[in-house]
Amino acid sequence: MKEYPRGESRRPHIVAIGGGTGLPVLLRGLKKAPVDITAVVTVADDGGSSGRLRNDMQMPPPGDVRNVLIALADTEPLLEQVLQHRFTNGDGLAGHALGNLMLAALKEITGDFTQAIEEMSRVLAVRGQVLPASSQDVVLLAEMTDGTIIRGESQIPKSGKKIRRVFLHPPQPDPHDDALDAIAGADAIVIGPGSLYTSILPNLLVRGMAEAIRASSAVKLYICNVMTQPGETDGFTASDHVRAIYDHVGDRFFDTVIVNNAVPPPSIRRKYAAKGAETVLPDVDRLQKLGCHVIADNLLLYGRDSYLRHDADRLCRHILEQVRDRKRRRCSG
């Protein structure tokens, strides 16, 4: 069990929880700051290379973990490109990312997925700790508003139906003990950005995870997505995202919600609209009625592919300011 130091002089300990493409974006900003980082990563993915390795190797899906390790790694750009390389030829190799295969090899060598992550963290000089939310084989299911049940993280957004709730099989899978320890020792717990139903909620549905977050003295922050996600959050405002989480884990879960209040240019909006996505409305009043302190800011960063990203550096500044505010209040109280 890792010890998390206490005291005013220590570096802040940030626990970031999520998966998909959102968590790595946040971590690339956090790793530049003078903080200790623990990333808790979802293990519900069942598609693509991760799904194949999960079935073939009887191991947790490595894809989200791979992306987080690379985000926190001290590596040359070429090595990152190699680890993210996805083979296009070969009956067995086609579709697999090299980083996924490395994690699978290390899992087979060590006999344990968490140990495999630790070994790869050493190889890549990862700045921080990366943990799966659960070491069990977890399947994500969704109950739709018409009562049908969709099985599999990769299938849920494809159903064309509205999600009522998501749940795990087995119900209440065992948490990773080190993840619970990290949460208990955190100064800030950051959830998001990321796919609401398929990257965020699977972590919170692991047994004891939501309860540990609620019991922690850390400041709890939710970073809302910039755009809606087709098949998951069509038409959702920022408060709809928070409300959906509260419907699964209970009210008053977050102290602070960070939302984007900038509007992308028409050309970008048209590009997203063609895929069924739109800007998430930052309905600050409704968020405040849910009991959340709201930070609304221009969080948009434009990638070379014209797709939007969160501005990780600006997010990091807001997170650290919340940690400092919490510390000042404790000292003055």
pLDDT digit string (tens) for 152-173? 999 999 988 999 999 999 998 9
Percent of residues, the chain, with pLDDT higher than 90: 77
pLDDT score for 305: 72
Mean pLDDT calculated for residue range 212-222: 98
Last residue of a domain, one of 100, 128, 156: 128
pLDDT score for 51: 81
Both 317 and 195 in one domain: the answer is yes
Q: Is residue 197 part of a domain?
A: yes
Mean pLDDT calculated for residue range 219-231: 97
pLDDT score for 114: 94
Both 156 and 298 in one domain: the answer is yes
pLDDT score for 6: 55
Q: Is residue 248 part of a domain?
A: yes
pLDDT at 333 over 70: no
Q: Which segments of 7-134 are extended strands (E)?
A: 13-18, 36-41, 129-132
Last residue of a domain, one of 69, 104, 128: 128
Both 68 and 217 in one domain: the answer is no
CA distance 5 to 263: 41
Q: Is residue 158 part of a domain?
A: yes
Q: Is residue 8 part of a domain?
A: no
pLDDT score for 9: 53
Both 222 and 305 in one domain: the answer is yes
pLDDT at 2 over 70: no
Q: Which domain holds residue 94?
A: 45-128
| DSSP secondary structure code for residue 12 in this structure | P
Both 21 and 101 in one domain: the answer is no
Percent of residues, the chain, with pLDDT higher than 70: 96
pLDDT score for 303: 77
Q: Is residue 162 part of a domain?
A: yes
Both 84 and 198 in one domain: the answer is no
pLDDT score for 297: 98
3-state secondary structure (DSSP) of residue 207: coil
Q: What is the mean pLDDT of the chain?
A: 92
Mean pLDDT calculated for residue range 22-28: 95
| Token pair of 95 as six digits | 């579709």
Q: By mean pLDDT, which of 79-83, 241-245, 270-274 is the weakest? A: 79-83
pLDDT score for 292: 97
Mean pLDDT calculated for residue range 279-304: 95
pTM: 0.93
pLDDT digit string (tens) for 41-55? 998 888 778 888 888
Which of the four pLDDT bands, split at 50, 70 and 90, describes residue 147?
A: very high
Domain count across the chain: 2
Q: Is residue 25 part of a domain?
A: yes
Q: How far is CA 233 from CA 26, 62, 150, 217, 285, in A?
A: 21, 25, 16, 30, 20
Left if phi > 0, otherwise alpha if psi is -120 to 50, otherwise beta: which for 93?
alpha
The domain that holds 196 is classified in CATH as 3.40.50.10680
Both 37 and 77 in one domain: the answer is no
pLDDT score for 10: 79
User: Could you tell me which of 56, 164, 37, 58 has the C-alpha nearest to residue 112?
Assistant: 58
pLDDT score for 57: 83
Mean pLDDT calculated for residue range 52-69: 88
Mean pLDDT calculated for residue range 79-99: 87
CA distance 245 to 251: 8
pLDDT at 90 over 60: yes
pLDDT at 98 over 80: yes
Both 59 and 35 in one domain: the answer is no
User: Could you tell me which of 215, 156, 154 has the C-alpha nearest to residue 183?
Assistant: 215
pLDDT score for 78: 84
Mean pLDDT calculated for residue range 108-136: 94
Both 163 and 74 in one domain: the answer is no
Q: What is the amino acid identity at position 31?
A: K
Q: Is residue 6 part of a domain?
A: no
